[in-house]
């Protein structure tokens, strides 16, 4: 027997039930992983609470999409990976059956990728959700040039930290936002040219950094009424990418700024890329290459053992993190 996490109803972190479950045999196209480490994502807290805008869980369900692991068994039709391979998961799958919180997980083979040799098992669980979320808007959608300004909101989130790295790699200037004055220093050290704390003059800061042009790309997981200031900070012809809904208030449409400046406001999820085999391979190559050179490196905020998964989710919801929260499964696994 090994332990997995299941949800039986929506609610607080205490709804994450760590329970014994005999590992299943993989079905066609699936692989069973011995999970080494799990990367927590904010959408998992939303799914658990029942307010994830993109998916309503049906119960009981497993949970989680991002882990590193060792291939333990392969199902029929699997030719690309073998028992013993060290892999990370890429979000291509539904969590009901394939959720990865636990000591074992059943994952479709297209949702796996090899671990770069310079990443340890904890870092290997902190790569794909953040960099694939960044890849679409920064590499596929926006035409960013050296010295362009990008505005990254909730910049201390794991996706935000990945976005700062990619923006600096492209030679862009970065304005980062946070609700917490305590995070300013860490965001400046991460490469932000300017950090704006909630309540400060965001449009003025972006105009100052961009020498009056505005932000070419606004990368925003918050939405809500703050979108009006984002439209004010965008440059004429700029792109605003909405990729999350952290705000609980409705999101007004910034019609006048949109008309005046010819803005594009675009919704985005990484599923655009992960469910398209060609785009997924291109994105994987781009990210793998930059992980190998060290130009991209996931930032880990803190590490919990699996038996403190409830506490880890409490911390995830606290908003105190400045990078990825990891569950180190291998260190506490029972043999």
Ligand X SMILES: NC(=O)c1ccc[n+]([C@@H]2O[C@H](COP(=O)([O-])OP(=O)(O)OC[C@H]3O[C@@H](n4cnc5c(N)ncnc54)[C@H](OP(=O)(O)O)[C@@H]3O)[C@@H](O)[C@H]2O)c1
Binding residues for ligand X, per CB under 6 A?
41-43, 129, 133, 154, 156-159, 178-180, 183, 221-222, 243-244, 246-247, 268-270, 316, 319, 321
Residue 280: CB minimum distance to ligand X, A: 13
- Residue 203 C-beta-side C-alpha neighbours within 13 Å: 11
Which CB atom, from 4 or from 273, has the smaller least distance to ligand X? 273
Peptide bond into 60 cis (omega under 30): yes
Q: Strand, coil or helix: what is 73?
A: strand
Q: Strand, coil or helix: what is 313?
A: helix
What distance in Å separates the CA atoms of residue 223 and residue 227, rounded to the nearest whole number? 6
What distance in Å separates the CA atoms of residue 219 and residue 22, rounded to the nearest whole number? 42
Residue 306: CB minimum distance to ligand X, A: 19
Residue 58: CB minimum distance to ligand X, A: 20
Residue 241: CB minimum distance to ligand X, A: 9
Residue 42: CB minimum distance to ligand X, A: 3
Residue 115: CB minimum distance to ligand X, A: 20
CA-nearest of 308, 312, 307, 302 to 334 is: 307
Which CB atom, from 74 or from 300, has the smaller least distance to ligand X? 300
Give the DSSP H or E segment for 267: strand 264-267
Which CB atom, from 272 or from 328, has the smaller least distance to ligand X? 272
Which CB atom, from 121 or from 161, has the smaller least distance to ligand X? 161
Q: Please give the residue whose beta carbon sits closest to ligand X in the complex.
A: 244
Which CB atom, from 256 or from 302, has the smaller least distance to ligand X? 302
Q: How many other CB atoms are found less than 10 A from the CB of residue 256? A: 10
Q: Exposed e or buried b for every residue in 143-170, given b needs 16+ CB within 10 A?
A: ebeeebbbbbbbbbbbbbbbbbbbbbeb
Per the CB < 8 A criterion, the answer to whether 150 and 162 are in contact is no
What distance in Å separates the CA atoms of residue 97 and residue 93, rounded to the nearest whole number? 9
Which CB atom, from 71 or from 325, has the smaller least distance to ligand X? 325
What distance in Å separates the CA atoms of residue 278 and residue 284, rounded to the nearest whole number? 10
Cα torsion 314, 47, 226, 298: sign: positive
Which CB atom, from 104 or from 128, has the smaller least distance to ligand X? 128
Residue 318: CB minimum distance to ligand X, A: 8
Which CB atom, from 44 or from 103, has the smaller least distance to ligand X? 44
Residue 43: CB minimum distance to ligand X, A: 4
């Amino acid at each position: 027997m090994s332990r997995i996490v299941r949800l039986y109803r929506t609610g607080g972190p205490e709804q994450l039930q760590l329970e014994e479950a005999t590992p299943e045999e993989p079905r066609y196209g699936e692989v069973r992983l011995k999970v080494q480490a799990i990367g927590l994502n904010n959408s998992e807290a939303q799914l658990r609470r029942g307010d994830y805008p993109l998916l309503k869980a049906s119960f009981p369900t497993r949970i989680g999409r991002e882990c590193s692991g060792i291939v333990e068994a392969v199902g029929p039709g699997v030719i690309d990976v073998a028992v013993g391979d060290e892999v990370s998961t890429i979000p291509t799958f539904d969590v009901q059956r394939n959720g990865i919180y636990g000591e074992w997980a059943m994952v479709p083979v297209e949702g796996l990728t090899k671990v770069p040799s310079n990443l340890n098992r904890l870092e290997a669980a902190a790569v794909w959700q953040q960099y694939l979320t960044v890849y679409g808007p920064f590499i596929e959608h926006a035409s960013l040039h050296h010295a362009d300004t990008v505005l990254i909101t909730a910049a201390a989130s794991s996706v935000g930290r990945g976005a700062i790295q990619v923006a600096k790699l492209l030679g862009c200037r970065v304005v980062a936002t946070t609700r917490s004055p305590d995070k300013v220093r860490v965001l400046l050290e991460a490469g932000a040219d300017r950090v704006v704390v909630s309540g400060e003059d965001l449009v003025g800061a972006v105009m100052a950094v961009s020498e009056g042009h505005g932000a070419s790309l606004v990368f925003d997981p918050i939405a809500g009424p703050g979108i009006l200031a984002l439209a004010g900070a965008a440059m004429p012809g700029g792109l605003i990418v909405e990729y999350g809904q952290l705000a609980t208030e409705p999101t007004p449409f910034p019609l006048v700024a949109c008309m005046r400046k010819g803005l594009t406001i675009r919704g985005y999820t990484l599923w655009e890329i992960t469910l398209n085999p060609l785009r997924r391979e291109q994105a994987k190559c781009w990210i793998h290459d930059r992980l190998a050179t060290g130009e991209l490196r996931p930032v880990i905020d803190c590490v919990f053992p699996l038996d403190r998964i409830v506490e880890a989710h409490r911390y995830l919801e606290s908003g105190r993190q400045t990078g990825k929260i990891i569950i180190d499964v291998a260190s506490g696994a029972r043999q």
